Amino acid sequence: MWRVIWFFLGVSRLSITGASPEWCMQRLAKARIAFHFCAKPDDFTAEIWILRRDEARAAQQIRMGGCDCAVLERSGFSAVFDGLWKRPVLLILLAAAITAAILVPKFVFFYEVEGNEAVPSAQILRELQELGVGFGTIWAVDQAAGTEKSDASAHSEAAVADRAAERHVRACGRAGTA
């Protein structure tokens, strides 16, 4: 968990070189400068991770302790995503992708008719097309009922099926009299 928090705050990896890097780490602890992931490559060097905001204070405390300090690496959220501000086209494309991810699911691109027995599926699809429900129709949530309804159709699904059934009966009646 601390790695995630430190990533968002930004971290620096410091190399403390001198006669006694342990004393410098004690000075950092007394100054309440948080450090993490201590490593000791040799007797006169220690490497620690600190928050980037504490970098100047840590360097001052280390120099007061009689050692030298060098920044080996800077990482974290700001170091990883700092280059985005230099690429405005990438930012615009990223914003467009996020917008598309939010808006595209609200549109109907594919639909099929299921569970009908009396009316042919093609007839129901034609009726939906006449009512304006088709490829690219936007869907919204009906606040009062809490159900999803198409903005393009003011009729319920039952009305569409009834209308299709009436036309089917009329078409069958005309075919039987001829």
Residue with tokens 């995503």, as numbered in its chain: 81
**pLDDT tier, 56 (very low <50, low <70, confident <90, very high otherwise):** very high
* Token code pair at residue 16: 């403390």
Note the pLDDT of residue 157.
Answer: 57
Confidence at 168, pLDDT banded by 50, 70, 90: low
User: How high is the mean pLDDT of the chain?
Assistant: 79
Q: Are 54 and 7 in contact (CB under 8 A)?
A: no
Give the model confidence (pLDDT) of 68-94 as tens digits: 999 999 888 888 777 777 888 988 999
Whole-model pTM? 0.50
Please give the angle made by the CA atoms of 91, 97 and 98, to the nearest 5 degrees: 90
**H/E segment holding residue 4:** helix 2-9
According to the model, what pLDDT value does residue 1 have? 72
Q: What does the pLDDT look like over 117-164, one tens digit per residue?
A: 788 888 887 887 787 777 777 765 444 445 555 444 444 556 666 666
What pLDDT was estimated at residue 71?
A: 93
Residues 34 and 61: their CA atoms lie apart, in Å, by 13
pLDDT reported for residue 37: 84
SS3 122: helix
